[in-house]
Structure 1
Amino acid sequence: MSHFPCLLPLSLISLALLSGCSRPMTPSPQLETSSGFSIIGGESVPPDSPLQAHVASIVMFRDEDPNWLNVCTGTFLTPEILLTAAHCVPEAGRNDLLRVYRSVDIWKDSVSLKVMGFIQHKGYDPQKSYLNDLAVVRLEAPQDGVKTVDYQRSVPSMPLTWKFLAVGYGRTSGRTSEIDPSGGAGVLRSVELAADFYEPSIFYFKAQISNKQGVCTGDSGGPALYSNVEYDRDWIQSAVTEPQNRSVR
């Protein structure tokens, strides 16, 4: 029996991928990074913010290296199901390598939520491209206080330039140090960005990453949210952020 009986096929979700800096996050000070620019430039999300109820941190571990971990972000589709990026989950069947945290600061939260299962998009192939880099994660039990976000089921009509809110647990800098080996990852933040290129046929858009603002490692799987006043909805998820090479898919 499927662990995801209520989900629509992921192919029906019109999502894009938003990029910034690269590589997984690890607490080891020996982490190497090819990125040398400061990014994000947003604000920490307070615990009582409505944004905190929309997302959670998804952390992946490795058996062979207890000091390695990869921080990502997920968005609640239901009180027990999170939408994230496919590269944020391990090989099939390894639920024990995933932990989910709902705190705005995972380093101060020792309580993790148990994962029942996860599914990657069937079209995901990391060797070819980052298209279809989508996955859903199901928790063992529904969570109280969750606020789900409407997601785009069809290609919307958007202006040439439009603003959205990127939300995630990513780094605040492309560099790490012995003082802060995480690079600032693990704390929920938000930043307003502008899309300056849009291809409606495949819902592809490019974000302006400038003025030391953008997304980075740890924001993968997080939402790009925009307000839809016309339909009286506070937020609609229009993208899953993908910090990889500063392009958007």
Structure 2
Amino acid sequence: MDKRTNFVRYISFVVSLFGMATAACGTEVEGADPQEDGVGIAEMPVVGGTPAAKGEFPWVVRLSMGCGGAFYTPQVILTAAHCVSRTGANTSITVTSGAIDLQDPAAVKTRSTYVYRSPTYNTSTGGDWALIKLERAVPGAVTLPIATTTQYDNGNFGVVGWGAAREGGAQQRYLLKAEVPFITDAQCKSAGGSYSSLIANAEICAGIWDRGGIDTCQGDSGGPMVRRDENNQWVQVGIVSWGEGCARARKPGVYAQVSTFAAAIAKAASTLP
């Protein structure tokens, strides 16, 4: 197991620089291997998050194993490779969409049929992404475009997810939102530890460098990191991946760099059985 999996993240929020709130967090237990049916998935936190408005982020979804994701197509979800265990047929995942309240009776529940896990995950190439095919296209699903170039891999990013009110607590019932600013690869690597082996072309760092307080964490791994394009539309630039602790100064969140894998994601999505 790559050492990064010791710090795999599940989204959460602490206090945001921009008035929204963001994450507090924890780490994955050594040796635990997240499974598609939920075994081994840790549940942790959103601290002080700002509630999202109904319909504000219509593309975000909740996965039954405790991860997040987004509609890549109306029948395919983009999430993190570390949220699933392998490529192959899988009917154990339930995807909740169309609601900010996980207990909303109007929320749409859809089962999975197949999972594709990036073959380069846990290699020197990186690639913490996976696709989940659903049993049917979700009526009215809003898809989230992904970045295909590095044009949007900087600036201020948005993150959304269901987490807990405190580190180690239960997940939130309602969707929360936050913002995190970009941190350069060089600065991120200077954090030392696992950050020293950051894969520059496959991972993006974000957070408040000197004081912390903004971060993603356990509770919604695989959720999207987004920003606005030139038309003020959301585009996905990252996938919640890992970090050392949560919201710590000089220990930022790390996200899979979607633009690097855009072609591989598109190819895999087009060939799902």
TM-score tier by shorter-chain length is 0.5 to 0.7
1:76 offset after TM fit, Å?
A: 0.8
2:224 counterpart residue number: 223
Q: Which amino acid aligns with 1:50?
A: E
Give SS of 1:236's match. Answer: strand
Give SS of 1:124's match. Answer: coil
- Which structure is richer in relative contact order (CA contacts within 8 A, separation 6 or more)? 1
Q: Distance in 2 between matches of 1:139 and 1:166?
A: 24
2:254 counterpart residue number: 248
Q: Which amino acid aligns with 1:194?
A: P
1:106 counterpart residue number: 102
TM-score (norm 1): 0.67
Equivalent residues of 2:152, 2:237 under 8 A apart: no
Give SS of 2:109's match. Answer: coil
| Higher percent of residues as helix | 2
Q: Distance in 1 between matches of 2:74 and 2:93?
A: 18
Matched, 1:165 2:152: no
Q: Which amino acid aligns with 2:102?
A: I
1:153 offset after TM fit, Å?
A: 1.2
1:117 counterpart residue number: 114
Q: Which amino acid aligns with 2:113?
A: M
1:142 offset after TM fit, Å?
A: 1.0
| Higher percent of residues as strand | 1
Superposed CA RMSD: 3.4
Q: Which runs of 5+ in 1 are unaligned?
A: 1-16, 26-30, 61-70, 177-181
Q: Deviations over 1:61-103 (max 9, x none)?
A: xxxxxxxxxx111111111111000121244446232111113
Against the structure 1 CA distance between its residues 172 and 86, is the aligned structure 2 distance closer, same or farther, given a 3 Å change threshold? farther
Equivalent residues of 1:40, 1:215 under 8 A apart: no
Against the structure 1 CA distance between its residues 118 and 50, is the aligned structure 2 distance closer, same or farther, given a 3 Å change threshold? same
Q: Distance in 2 between matches of 1:241 and 1:94?
A: 24
How many aligned residue pairs are there? 200
TM-score (norm 2): 0.62
Equivalent residues of 1:226, 1:237 under 8 A apart: yes
Q: Deviations over 1:31-88 (max 9, x none)?
A: 9x8x9xx7543312232x230x11110112xxxxxxxxxx111111111111000121
Which sits farther off after the overlay, 134-143 or 239-248? 239-248
Counterpart pick for 2:138 among 135, 143, 157 = 143
Equivalent residues of 2:94, 2:109 under 8 A apart: yes
1:238 counterpart residue number: 237
Matched, 1:188 2:171: no
Q: Distance in 2 between matches of 1:155 and 1:171?
A: 32
1:54 counterpart residue number: 59
Give % identity. Answer: 23
Against the structure 1 CA distance between its residues 243 and 185, is the aligned structure 2 distance closer, same or farther, given a 3 Å change threshold? farther
1:131 offset after TM fit, Å?
A: 2.9
Give SS of 1:105's match. Answer: coil
1:154 offset after TM fit, Å?
A: 2.0
Give SS of 2:215's match. Answer: coil
Q: Distance in 2 between matches of 1:95 and 1:157?
A: 33
Against the structure 1 CA distance between its residues 56 and 187, is the aligned structure 2 distance closer, same or farther, given a 3 Å change threshold? same
1:108 offset after TM fit, Å?
A: 4.5
Q: Deviations over 1:166-190 (max 9, x none)?
A: 11223342122xxxxx2x3453211
